[in-house]
A and B are shown apart, each in its own frame.
Chain A
């Protein structure tokens, strides 16, 4: 277990749900059935960041639903550092009340022979900020779906996904719906595909017709490290208002031979040069993580899994 501060709340999902160190600001109700526990979490207003650590030490399959409500002006860091040994089916529904700030960090390792699914629906009200960072190694069959609804003005979503696949598969879908004016979304997705991996990313940005002053950016990049691996990046934009600034870009390909030669010319052998190349490729967007501790965890995750 990682060391946690006094305000941390630690949740272990296993056959029996355990809750430890619940702070006054975090109210949690659990209805536990062996097949599908439901966790209702309510975050009240707090001047200090609340933090929830989700860990999983069991090898069993997990099916769970997490209903999260972050009240006005409340903040929450939700950190999922579980190593999921078994199959998973986790559904998360989040409602962010005005001025709420939510930071979701997922640094997960999955068993390469399991089936895993994560679905997150998140509704943002006015002036909310949701920072969403996901790091994964994929599995035999992984589905990672996030649906963001920017329902009220000045709501903001910043998201980055990193998939380091090594003969694993990972299907990623990110739907961002701008349903109100003056909302911002900024999404980046990066993946490295090795062995016989197959990674897909479908990123959709929808802007409703009355959503003027919208700013949206989406970029996805993939690095194909073997002849047998595949990456498929699909940006989709549906813009129904003229007063918007929207950009998107998608690119995938093999490593640049001139970079690998440059590294070799400095004494770095091929496998180490490829590793350094991948680390650099995936680390390019890490400055989007403003939380220094989480940025460090993200860098460690990349360095350990490349």
Chain B
């Protein structure tokens, strides 16, 4: 699914990612944990193609294609989804209109016609119900005035709508209360189908108690310094990042 080889990434002339290697197979759930400033989010944004994140060396193979050579929108159309830690607000555009537009962008890339308004409404109602999202939320502007929980649910709704192959979750647990974390995690777990892969970036064990990872990697100084199974996350939670 995804293979990162010897990746170096700089942001504003400062090297953040140093010789990163990571392989994620189909259906696997990988978690990256690490202290603040270790470069976790940089991986997420680099994979999604954020401008100014300069790949200095190495390569990334995603579904047998050179991911780095592609524009950000092409990466999405190829099946990569980044759930943002801080979802962006888009005033003036209703959530329903936005969701329809992103769905149609993916349909267009598959050679399909734009979705019929009635069919879209049916899908939106069904997926919103599964996430306990009130339909009223879709008549509001994208993420504008949304609570932290609503924003994260909206991210999960988008990943459900776009049906990606690889989902990168960048600190999805931040800003969520216990109930919102649980319901968001349950929604994500429903998307685990044995084929779709996940890369979960988090500080804490609590998200991984709901979304159980196959592999846990500890990040430090721009690279993976230790890998293991879920028990590694428990150990980090008990001992912190300072003691390895």
Contacts and interface: CB of A to CB of B under 8 A. Distances in A.
Contacts of B98: 276
Interface stretch (B87-95, B111-119, B185-193, B194-202): B87-95
Given A258-B88, A280-B142, 9 more contacts: A257-B51, A261-B51, A262-B90, A266-B73, A267-B77, A267-B109, A268-B105, A272-B101, A280-B92
B55 to A, nearest CB: 16
B92 A266 contact: no
Contacts of A267: 73, 76-77, 102, 105-106, 109, 162
A279 interface: yes
Contacts of A18: none
A279 B92 contact: yes
A268 B102 contact: yes
Contacts of A258: 88
B58 interface: no
28 contacts: A256-B88, A259-B90, A262-B84, A262-B87, A262-B90, A263-B90, A264-B71, A265-B48, A265-B73, A265-B75, A265-B76, A265-B81, A266-B76, A266-B105, A267-B73, A267-B76, A267-B77, A267-B162, A268-B102, A269-B73, A269-B105, A270-B73, A276-B98, A276-B101, A280-B141, A281-B92, A283-B93, A286-B92
B72 interface: yes
Contact of A280 (B72, B73, B91): B91
Interface in A219-257: 256-257
Chain B CB within 10 Å — which of A261, A282, A283 has the most?
A261
A266 to B, nearest CB: 4
A266 B102 contact: yes
Nearest to A281: B92
A280 B51 contact: no
A261 B50 contact: yes
Interface of B: 48-51, 71-73, 75-77, 81-82, 84, 87-93, 98, 101-102, 105-106, 109, 141-142, 158, 162
B69 to A, nearest CB: 15
A268 B92 contact: no
Nearest to B89: A259
B93 A280 contact: yes
A286 B91 CA distance: 12
Contacts of B76: 264-267
A32 to B, nearest CB: 43
A268 B102 CA distance: 6
Interface in A193-234: none
A261 B90 contact: no
A284 B109 CA distance: 30
- Of A259, A262, A281, A282, chain B has the most CB atoms within 10 Å of the CB of A262
Given A265-B48, A268-B102, A280 B90 contact: yes
B88 A279 contact: no
Query: Shortest 6 CB-CB distances between A and B: which pairs?
Result: A280-B92, A264-B72, A267-B76, A283-B92, A280-B93, A262-B88
B93 A276 contact: yes
B154 to A, nearest CB: 11
B93 A279 contact: yes
Nearest to A280: B92
A284 B73 contact: no
Contacts of B71: 264, 269-270
Interface string A30-59: 000000000000000000000000000000
A280 B106 CA distance: 21
A166 B195 CA distance: 47
A264 B87 CA distance: 13
Contact of A259 (B82, B88, B102, B109): B88
